[in-house]
Amino acid sequence: MSRIDFMQGNTACAEGALAAGCRFFGGYPITPSTEIAEHMAAKLPKVGGVFIQMEDEIAGIASVIGASWTGARAMTATSGPGFSLMMENIGFAVMTETPCVVVNIQRGGPSTGQPTMAAQGDMLQCRFGSHGDYSIIALSPASVQEMYDLTAEAFNLADRFRIPVFVMADEIIGHMRERLMIPDSVHRGERKLLGKGNLPYQADDDLVPGFPVFGKGYGVHVTGLTHDERGYPCATSPSVHECLVKRLVDKVESARDSIASCDIVNPDARVVFISYGAPSRAVEQVLHDIHNDNVGHLRLKLVWPFAESLLSRFSNAETFIVPELNMGQMAREIKRHTNRRVIPVPKLGGALHDPFDLAALVEELL
Amino acid sequence: MTFDEWLRVDRLPHIYCAGCGNGTVINCTLSAVDQMGWKKEEIVFVSGIGCSSRAPGYIVTDSLHTTHGRAIAFATGIKMANPDLKVVVFTGDGDLAAIGGNHFIHGCRRNIDLTVICMNNMIYGMTGGQGSPTTPRGALSTTTPYGSSEAAFDLCGLAAAAGANYVARYTSYHVKELTLAIRTGLGNPGFSFIEALVQCPTNYGRRNKLRQVSDQIEYFKSHAILAQKAERMREEGKKIPDDMIIIGELARRNRPALGVRK
Ligand SMILES: Cc1ncc(C[n+]2csc(CCOP(=O)(O)OP(=O)(O)O)c2C)c(N)n1
Ligand code: SF4
Ligand SMILES: [Mg+2]
């Protein structure tokens, strides 16, 4: 029997991870994400899992990647400063195709910025923050319920694509308390294992190679150097490098329409809000208040890879309004994919957009 | 045992320069692991970045060649998530004590059940001979062209002070002793740290009047002094010259270890 509960977003995130079978958490405390680590520290030992507080976030993500190679579902959680420290090892996870989940409860940056205030300033960093070309998946919860659901789903996506998957929440969603429904069980995908006779980095039709769990006799060498299908370093062959990097990008990008996840309201509207995370709450208020079929809403739950086909679902759209808790990070991506008008509504400082301001903007446009 | 059975022979020839001391440490390690009677599938080698850190890529077991300085942090995740695995870390002096210094001391403090083997050539070999935290005062490197003006780390002293259960130092001259020390480390629960001083003829010896491999080995032989003897000298109030290398078992104790199956 599913049950109704009332909890904080960060707690729901940890509960979603546990329900998805996460059995390893390695991390370092940082506001406003710390409650996730604290909840995992309390709960993991009771389900046979491991919690370890590492010496910094570099070590946190490193331990998570190490744990993942033993076959465990593993995660870490952090915020801006810690997220910056993780970047090199996130690239290592991409290159070695290590499934893992990284939660970022975003706060105001740059630098120490606003530790207790919400922001969405790391949306480009999660996509591009490590060096080299690659692609990842980022989810953005807009409620306590989605902190639970999307964190659980992040593990399935990480295992399926063998990539780091980011849960890009923010201080508002992480610290708010709401009702949520906890299901009996969550859907749990499998991490495809390396098939007999296959080379360790020989990809299947889905462009993802099977996973050779450490300790099972595969005898696999895993390196962040450019490697061939055997997993052997091969760092000076232009073709091996090009093939590998293109596959790392393509395995995610070619799936972007099939994994797209969003809510669509009024697809025939002329003015359409595009939002993700906390600002979606303000947009929902606007739609509720003005009640006009000419105002639509595209709410992204999966932000990266951005599925531009979603824009064409709004065939009458003249204007896209993009409220974000940053200076227009996703608006920039949306502009790349449409010749219709895109109006970013940046918001800095930690407070949410005022629905009255957004409604006034809509009135002007209609 | 034959080394072929432990090595990825399809990856040979290796990248090491002729006369490099790393090969000796790999041989000692494989002999020690073989003597433990462990199955290949239960062993994982982990490393960071550097010439020394390339070693796992030549060994047939599962291995993780990670980022510069972070091997112990990755290894901690592996060992905590699956304590049945025997996890051995290969690292270099730069990898371990410069960029990875924090992970090193915290690994010792946690006393996590790893065996960490540092190939200390007192230089950044892979990047062409820059000074490292173990470059002796006065030694020449590409970034200390007038001689290093900084003090060198005592890696074993660091490990012992930070809480490692087993700490030993030998050199590439002391093959038997080094093999035995690695074996002891492998069998000892908790953090085992073995420092192996090795020659880097290409990037250290060449600049420091130890051009021939035999010169460096001879240097290790003539400058090594057993820990017990050094202790006696200290008690007798005799000064141990700064350039002496204190070898032997430097710590062995039984603090509670992390990552051991209860
Ligand atoms: C983050 C980062 N900084 C710098 C480097 C460049 N780098 C590669 S190996 C190395 C030094 C290795 O020295 P050491 O650990 O002593 O290994 P050795 O090659 O001497 O065995 C450096 C600085 C790197 N790979 N990553
Ligand atoms: S540069 Fe030095 S450490 Fe590196 S392989 Fe050559 S001799 Fe060995
Ligand atoms: Mg070195």
Q: How far apart, in whole angstroms, are the C-alpha atoms of residue A154 and residue A160?
A: 10
A80-108 residue pLDDT tens = 999 999 999 999 999 999 999 999 999 99
Q: What does the DSSP 8-state code read for residue B190?
A: S
Query: Please, where are the H alpha helices in chain A?
Result: 9-19, 34-43, 57-68, 80-96, 123-128, 144-161, 171-175, 238-253, 256-259, 279-290, 329-336, 355-365
Q: How far apart, in whole angstroms, are the C-alpha atoms of residue A9 and residue A3?
A: 17
A17-58 residue pLDDT tens = 999 999 999 999 999 999 999 999 999 999 999 999 999 999
Is the CB of A124 inside 8 Å of chain B's CB atoms? no
pLDDT number for residue B3: 87
**Number of domains composing chain B:** 1
Pocket of ligand 2 from Cβ distances under 6 Å: B 16-17, 20, 22, 51, 121, 125-126, 200-203
Query: Of A179, A164, A189, which is closest to residue A12 (Cα–Cα)?
Result: A179
pLDDT number for residue B116: 99
Which backbone phi and psi does A359 adopt, to 5 degrees?
Answer: -65, -40
Determine, yes or no, domain membership for B1: no
Range of the domain at B217: 17-252
- Answer for the pair B140, B208: CB distance below 8 angstroms, yes or no: yes
Is the CB of B234 inside 8 Å of chain A's CB atoms? no
A264-365 folds as: Rossmann fold (3.40.50)
Q: How far apart, in whole angstroms, are the C-alpha atoms of residue A364 and residue A277?
A: 25
Instruction: Please list the pLDDT of chain B residue by residue as tens digits (262 residues).
Output: 888 999 999 999 999 999 999 999 999 999 999 999 999 999 999 999 999 999 999 999 999 999 999 999 999 999 999 999 999 999 999 999 999 999 999 999 999 999 999 999 999 999 999 999 999 999 999 999 999 999 999 999 999 999 999 999 999 999 999 999 999 999 999 999 999 999 999 999 999 999 999 999 999 999 999 999 999 999 999 999 989 999 999 999 999 999 998 7
Min Cα–Cα distance to chain A from B241, Å: 36
Residue A60 reports pLDDT greater than 90: yes
Determine, yes or no, domain membership for B7: no
All CATH 3.40.50.970 domain ranges in chain A, comma separated:
3-182
Is the CB of B89 inside 8 Å of chain A's CB atoms? no
Q: Which residues of A touch B100 (CB under 8 A)?
A: none
pLDDT number for residue B262: 77
Q: Please tell me which residue of chain A has the smallest CA distance to B71.
A: A62
- Answer for the pair B61, B19: CB distance below 8 angstroms, yes or no: no
The size of the A-B interface in CB pairs under 8 A is 126
- Answer for the pair B48, A59: CB distance below 8 angstroms, yes or no: no
Is the CB of B217 inside 8 Å of chain A's CB atoms? no
Chain-chain contact of A26 with B82 (C-beta, under 8 angstroms): no
Torsion angle, CA of B166/B167/B172/B173, rounded to 10 degrees? -100
All CATH 3.40.50.920 domain ranges in chain A, comma separated:
264-365
A3-182 folds as: Rossmann fold (3.40.50)
Determine, yes or no, domain membership for B261: no
Tell me whether residue B230 is exposed, middle or buried, using C-beta atoms within 10 angstroms of its C-beta: 0 to 12, 13 to 18, 19 or more. middle
CATH number of the domain within which B176 lies: 3.40.50.970
Q: Separation of B123 CA from ligand 3 center, angstroms?
A: 4
Q: Which residues of B touch A233 (CB under 8 A)?
A: 57, 65
| A68, A96, A215: residue with CB nearest B42 | A215
Q: Separation of B223 CA from ligand 3 center, angstroms?
A: 20
How many residues does the structure list for chain A? Answer: 366
Atom of ligand 2 at shortest distance to CA of B199? 7
Classify the C-alpha dihedral B158-A57-A20-A212 as positive or negative.
negative
A275-334 residue pLDDT tens = 999 999 999 999 999 999 999 999 999 999 999 999 999 999 999 999 999 999 999 999
Determine, yes or no, domain membership for B262: no
Q: How far from each other are the two terminal CA atoms of chain A, in whole angstroms?
A: 47
| A23, A70, A96: residue with CB nearest B78 | A70
| A56, A92, A216: residue with CB nearest B67 | A92
Query: Of B4, B122, B154, B146, which is closest to residue B52 (Cα–Cα)?
Result: B122
Which backbone phi and psi does B156 adopt, to 5 degrees?
Answer: -70, -40
Q: How far apart, in whole angstroms, are the C-alpha atoms of residue B199 and residue A346?
A: 58
Q: Which residues of A touch B45 (CB under 8 A)?
A: none
A228-286 residue pLDDT tens = 999 999 999 999 999 999 999 999 999 999 999 999 999 999 999 999 999 999 999 99
pLDDT number for residue B1: 82
Q: Identify from B80, B89, B114 which residue to disrupt to test chain A contact, counting A C-beta atoms within 10 A and taking the largest count.
A: B80
Residue A1 reports pLDDT greater than 90: no
Kindly list the distances between the CA atom of residue A358 and the CA atoms of A292, A363, B34, B96, in Å, as whole numbers in the listed order: 14, 9, 70, 54
pLDDT number for residue B2: 85
Chain-chain contact of B62 with A219 (C-beta, under 8 angstroms): yes
Min Cα–Cα distance to chain A from B39, Å: 9
The angle, 0 to 180 degrees and rounded to 10, between the axes of the packed helices A9-19 and A144-161 is: 40
Which two tokens mark B259? 């990552």
- Neighbouring C-beta atoms of residue B1, cutoff 10 Å: 10
Say yes or no: ipTM exceeds 0.85. Answer: yes
Atom of ligand 1 at shortest distance to CA of B203? 20
Ligand with smallest separation from the Cα of B48: 1
| A66, A96, A223: residue with CB nearest B78 | A66
Sheet of A271-275, strands arranged across = A262-265, A295-300, A271-275, A319-324, A341-346
Q: Check if B127 has its Cβ closer than 6 Å to any atom of ligand 1.
A: yes
pLDDT number for residue B6: 97
Q: Separation of B62 CA from ligand 1 center, angstroms?
A: 22
Determine, yes or no, domain membership for B100: yes
